[in-house]
A and B are shown apart, each in its own frame.
Chain A
Amino acid sequence: MRHINTQLSRYGYILNLGVMGVLLAGILRVVFQLYADGLYPLASALSAITVFLALVYLRRRFTPLRWFAIGVGLAMLFTLYPILYTFYLSVTNMGSGHLMTKQQAIDRLESQLYMPEGGKTYGWAAFRSPDEAYALWLLPEEGPGLLARPGQPLEEAMPGEDGIGAPDQDGIPLTIDGYERLAQNQVVPIISALGAIDFGEPPDTVRIRSLREAVTLKPKYQYDPDRDVMVDQETGTVYRPVEGTFTSDDGETLTPGYIVYVGLHHFERFLGNERFREPLIKIFLWNVSFAFASVFLSFAVGLVVTLLFEGLPGSRVIRALLIIPWPIPVLVSILIWRSMLNPDLGFVAPLLESLFGSSPAWFQNAMWTRVAVILVNVWLSYPYFYVISAGAIRSIPHEIYDAAVVDGASAWGKFQHITLPLLLRILMPLLIASFTFNFNNFNVIYIFNFGLPPMPNTIVPMGQTDILISFVYRLAFITSNVTDYGLAAAITVMLFLLISLMVVFQARFTNLFREAD
């Protein structure tokens, strides 16, 4: 028996090794590709996770870890990695104009060409030899034609001599010995490849610039790794790296720039400014109040509705009607509310005006916009609380109420001392989850009024009904053609820390609740 067991496990081990081998080979392939694309952080993270998995599955000592190693691996890749990457981004200048690594930016700049003084423009025709070598026939503005081959000096040649065929009406030979002339529709498909070839002997090389023109071109910039500067070959200007951009002494800059470490720059930029800090605290406080008010009011409305319609005749129909807000897509509900409250088009304004003589500015006044947002959110979420509290109430044993009645409890007393505490016990986890959800309830805030009305005198645009998430979104992504990832990451990190604090508090709160049981 013992013998068979070891043998089996040996086979098992070999199988394990084989599967892991294939898996690792696959992952390694991906890692190499990521390295090649310059995605070093992701490649390193993936490597680390792979080593971890390999250890767990190949070392017998770690067998117990196998049960959750995959889960941990995925958590590292999809949760921990993005968080760490955000931290990394927050100390870089990554953003529009700075999206590449330094090497990529250098390659980009070095591939730019210019036409040197005394450079010439030619008409051209392409020829191809059977072994796929190309030659150009160049037609200068005046003078005889030139035969240009890669790596060889330009040769003046006369059509009809030295193996060069008779000219056509443009003066281009119809044939060249060893080469076949390419027609336009043969040239066009390969024109990009042709355009990458330097014809002639360096430094006097000619390149195709368009279907009609070939010109003398030279590299415009050259990187000097010893001095770490970029030198303009045309003017001799020296560009030094300044904050991820090659900059000349006159302040001229070269694009594209590249990603560099900028330290705590983004944090200092805003946290150091009280016209950023104070509004941010305002946003945070409103965010907490919004989430709290939404949960509290939705729950209250849901509960009242439950109690009112419990056991009434026709309650099924009423219940069905009350759940209506639920199946309507949130987006549609919010937009309907938005148009109902519209002061010029909606029916709410004339109604309120006829009743009270005036109607609040639902979209301009900070307080009324907040009221409206909470109102809409309560409308959206009370059916949820209605359904769950209606369910939960039935689970409260009827005997307790009977006992209370015997003790002479009033209806309010029953609610206060039996229904509410027992319901809260059952529903507390849901309430907390709902609070967390509403804390980041981007939809309601953003679709209803984009976080507006604006706060006056802030250093970046901020809205009176902005919550943290909508504020960051507007700052980092809504501006249609600017993307400042470094800044967005820095603010996300700040929010991450704020929200982490919240989570710690919540955890405390739930724990307290448990102890109270």
Chain B
Amino acid sequence: MFGAFALLERSLRVDSRALSPHLARMGLLGAIYFSLCYALTTSFMFGAPGLRFFQGIAYLDATFMTLLGIGFFSTSITEEKEEDTLGLMLMAGISPLGILAGKSGGRLWQSLLLIAVQYPFVILAVTMGGVMHTQVWSVTVALLAYMVFLAGFGLLCSTLAPRSQTASVWMVLGLLIYFVVPSVAATWAMSHATWIINQGGVTPPTTLFWRLIEGVGDTCVFLQMSKILTTGFHQSAWSIQVVTNVLFGVVCVVFSWIFFGIATRSPTTEASSRGLVTRSRRLPLFSAGRTWINPFIWKDFHFVSGGLGMLLVRVAYYGGLSLLALAIEDKKNAYAMSWFGSIVFLVWFSVAIDAAKVLSRSMQDEVRGQTLASLMMLPRSSNRIVYSKFAGAMLGWLLGPFLGVIFIFVSPSMREGVTEMLTAQDGDNGLLIITMMVLYFALIPHFAALLALYVRWGAVALAIGMTIGTYFVLMMGINICLVVTGGMRSINSPNLLFAGVSVALFFICAACHIGVLLRVQALGAK
């Protein structure tokens, strides 16, 4: 039995000896420390600083873990399939259970440690006020259970999928169901309860069906956290979300074990990975066609960004979201406007994430395929090669921001909001705020492109984490500078803050460009 966990033991040993996981945990603690300081410095402006601080950390954790989990857990078995090493492991006498435990157990442990290590620090939120110890403990348990869910589900996708990319797509789709179905169920159950109250009845509903719907609504970690973080929460930490998430994770592991033999029988390296780019001459629009004058732009447009097929997917996605937002905007009530705001954020967040995804893939494909040496041998400067690749990858992406800008012009609320920001007379420079926001969004793809040259998985998730960390560090640092220099007393202090942050963000982006070029040259020479 212990032999089955030899691989797990090895991965834990490697993790404990390697420097980078410890540095990552230290980095996370650093970010928490900064957000703690930030919450303290701004506590005079808002009530319940502990709750604000803890809420930020909890949602950041859940978002970060979701994004990291997609790359981290869904590649555990597929990376072995792609490298054709699964057969060697089996021949070495490692059982399927040993491989599953070894490949995903170590990763789960690393992720659980990331949450566990925060616990002593987030407890400080209780002393800051606004949040109870029970709430901190319940959120931590909910997050740990969510990690088990992600690890199990990622492992199942990785076992069944032929390639890492397919496994990631399956995981994203699964997570969409995980987020959407409980949200719909919770909304439905709430409107039903309201209807009962309006009819003069009493809640909670007693029928099995409505209890089931309510139960489904309780399975999502984000909904559970919002419930825990409401004032007066005093339920057990062992909620439906915790039980169902852990149970689902375990069931996924069992299914991975059962299907391991069938799913890994045939080699997968022969599988095609052209996505929506066809080889058929019957669909010339969707094929890569002849190479363009700039071959790097041609290659990355078709094989990284997805070519014309993915361009149409983007049109459907951004167009669909924009139309939905416009339809909601028409209702003009507070509830509808909160949804409108969320969709607008989703559009622009998607634009940033899409940019991060295509840029990181543009770099990561070359690193994984070990093709950088061949590229660096071409009689073109490495800068030109890198920027041509980026241009090709971004060619398909450009449609997102283009539709986003059109949406701003079409939507009356958005138009009004932007005009108000740009023509504000109360001292705040709207253009500075917009510049700062754009630079923050731009930072995500910059970090992602750089990180893709260093890490095997999770470059986009790490980029988001680093961007949020940068936000806290810059805000905090420049705030302190303003306080020390007396700038805080000036009427222009917010403008100074925004300008300072914008300049700092610009320099960080420039540093990322230099970092990418140096790293590409170094990897090409390896």
A in complex with B: no
